[in-house]
Amino acid sequence: MTIRLISDLHLHPGAPEITEGFLHWLETRACGCDALYLLGDIFEAWIGDDLLDLAGVDPSGNADLALRVARALRRLADDGTELYLMHGNRDFLLGERFAEEAGVTLLPDPSVVAPGGKRILLMHGDSLCTLDTAYQAFRAQARDPLWQAQVLSMPLPERIALAKQLREQSGEANSNKAEAIMDVTPEEVVRVMDAQGVTTLIHGHTHRPAVHDLSVAGKAATRFVLGDWQPGQGWEIVIEEGQAPRLQHFALGG
């Protein structure tokens, strides 16, 4: 049994090295594994699944990128790998149509899974950053089905402009925030792990890849943080039968 987990690829047409590296990774390292978990922010932005209709005619390249990724994931799914996708704070509008085309199952955040028997809590990680109250207010709005329906009913060009505006606002806001605010709140991590009854948590989002030891309800526990992909380097967590999860980075080839 081999399970792989990744997050924070932030795929977009402006970073072709990461896209090519990811597609190569799917065909080589990921190929043949039993399950692949995509834990959010796979895409830098997602403005609606109808983006797929624009493949071949969208000058930004976003539609072609989305279709290539969907097809590559589909090949893996067709070869027998179970694929699961959790939303991040960038691609939270990713919907059932993309999921179907890519052969992935959408996973709620948080989700507890038990590959190989041991219960593991999976999250994107943004909900753990509770000190960032401005972001948490936006998150609550962005996860509201009514707000999402409203946004998805806007014409595509308006949605593209909105996504750009949100990214710029987030970039400006984040450059003024203290380091601790941008990271997870330790007490929130313990609270969520205790509530879910787990001693293992895997998440991404913070771009601070690490393995943290902590204590949850008097038990030794571990929090694994996935890294963000860069040109030339990717991050993954691998779980093999009877072994603890392993966080590792690797060279991204094209």
Q: Where along the sequence are the contacts to Mn ion (CB under 5 A)?
A: 41, 88-89, 205
Distances (CA, A) of 25 to 28, 29, 47, 251: 5, 5, 25, 10
143, containing H or E segment: none
Residue nearest to Mn ion (CB): 205
Closer by beta carbon to Mn ion, 159 or else 205: 205
Look at strands 2-6 and 111-113 and give their pairing.
unpaired
Q: How far is the CB of 197 from Mn ion (least distance, A)?
A: 25
Q: How far is the CB of 188 from Mn ion (least distance, A)?
A: 16
Closer by beta carbon to Mn ion, 33 or else 86: 86
Q: Is the dihedral of CA 26, 28, 29, 30 positive or negative?
A: positive
Sheet holding 246-251, edge to edge: 105-107, 82-86, 35-38, 2-6, 233-240, 246-251
Closer by beta carbon to Mn ion, 103 or else 234: 234
Sheet holding 210-216, edge to edge: 111-113, 120-122, 200-203, 219-225, 210-216
Give the Cα separation of 15 and 8 in Å (integer): 13
Q: How far is the CB of 19 from Mn ion (least distance, A)?
A: 18
Closer by beta carbon to Mn ion, 69 or else 216: 69
Q: How far is the CB of 206 from Mn ion (least distance, A)?
A: 8
Closer by beta carbon to Mn ion, 88 or else 103: 88
Q: How far is the CB of 90 from Mn ion (least distance, A)?
A: 6
